[in-house]
């Protein structure tokens, strides 16, 4: 009689067991009770806190970088800009040869503006004096070129010039003589008068009054 064979299942899991293991792996974690959470919190509360990262302020400048400072205003003697005021100082009797046509215009404007000729000449010289040596040399060259071949007559006038204004005129003339040896004080004086003398009587009166105000401020400073 043939012997009946039987399959031993020792050590072999049931297919149902395999399904249960897979389900256990994919199942959502079980909710923890409030008591368990409080216990965990009490166990971790004694741990030192994590070091706090120190933030660098965005407004803080990197090392070596300096704050921008406003530029200090500087005055260049031979730079552009407004001519400094030279109307102060004691008046000095000064002879200036003024072109006859320009001298006549001075008389007419001073008469119409009701101001002294001397005051008008000083104010016009201050207003028309070039601010630096290069411009003064250009004005002198233009004045001499306009007189070349014509030599119009000039009228000698004794003007009481403020000492600082006269010194500045002579300084500019001396600087121009380095390249133009035949330059005279009258060349720069006539060029400055043409630049600074208003043809309108009201403007001439205001020019003289404004010069007087600047003089008072310079004296009071």
Distance CA 128, CA 189 (A): 9
Three-class DSSP category at 157: strand
Distance CA 140, CA 152 (A): 16
Residue 135 has a CB neighbour count (10 Å cut-off) of 16
pTM of structure: 0.63
Domain boundaries, the chain: 91-220
Upper half-sphere CA count for residue 80 (Cβ side, 13 Å) = 0
pLDDT of residue 32: 53
Comparing CA positions, the residue from 147, 100, 145, 90 lying closest to residue 122 is 90
Comparing CA positions, the residue from 188, 190, 191 lying closest to residue 176 is 188
Distance CA 126, CA 114 (A): 19
Q: Tens-digit pLDDT profile for the chain (221 aa)?
A: 445 545 454 554 444 444 444 444 444 545 555 454 444 444 444 444 444 444 444 444 434 333 333 322 223 333 446 789 999 999 999 999 999 999 999 999 999 999 999 999 999 999 999 999 999 999 999 999 988 887 678 999 999 999 999 999 999 999 999 998 999 999 999 999 999 999 899 999 999 999 999 999 999 98
Tokens of 26: 């994919």
Q: Which residues, 6+ apart, have CB-to-CB distance to 47 below 8 Å?
A: none
With 0-12 CB in 10 A as exposed, 13-18 as middle and 19+ as buried, what is 197?
buried
Q: Is the dihedral of CA 155, 129, 105, 163 positive or negative?
A: negative
Q: Which residues, 6+ apart, have CB-to-CB distance to 85 below 8 Å?
A: 126, 214, 218
Contact indicator for 198, 159 with CB cutoff of 8 Å: no
Distance CA 147, CA 187 (A): 10
pLDDT of residue 82: 79
**Helix residue ranges, H only, 133-184:** 133-147, 163-176
């Amino acid at each position: 009689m043939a012997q009946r064979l039987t399959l031993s299942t020792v050590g072999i899991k049931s297919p149902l067991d395999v399904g249960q293991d897979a389900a256990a792996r994919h199942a959502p974690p079980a909710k923890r009770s409030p008591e368990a959470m409080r216990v965990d919190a009490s166990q971790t509360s004694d741990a030192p806190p994590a070091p706090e990262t120190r933030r660098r302020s965005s407004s803080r400048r990197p090392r070596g970088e300096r704050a921008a400072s406003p530029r200090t205003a500087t005055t260049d003697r031979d730079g552009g800009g407004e001519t400094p005021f030279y109307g102060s100082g004691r008046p000095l009797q000064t002879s200036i040869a003024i072109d006859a046509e320009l001298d006549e215009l001075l008389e007419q404007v001073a008469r119409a503006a009701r101001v002294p000729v001397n005051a008008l000449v000083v104010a016009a010289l201050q207003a028309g004096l070039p601010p630096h040596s290069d411009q003064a040399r250009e004005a002198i060259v233009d004045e001499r070129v306009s007189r070349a071949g014509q030599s119009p007559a000039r009228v000698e006038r004794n003007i009481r010039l403020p000492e600082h204004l006269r010194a500045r005129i002579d300084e500019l003339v001396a600087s121009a003589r380095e390249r133009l040896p035949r330059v005279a004080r009258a060349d720069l004086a006539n060029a400055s008068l043409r630049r600074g003398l208003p043809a309108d009587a009201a403007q001439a009166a205001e020019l003289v009054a404004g010069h007087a105000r600047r003089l008072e401020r310079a004296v009071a400073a």
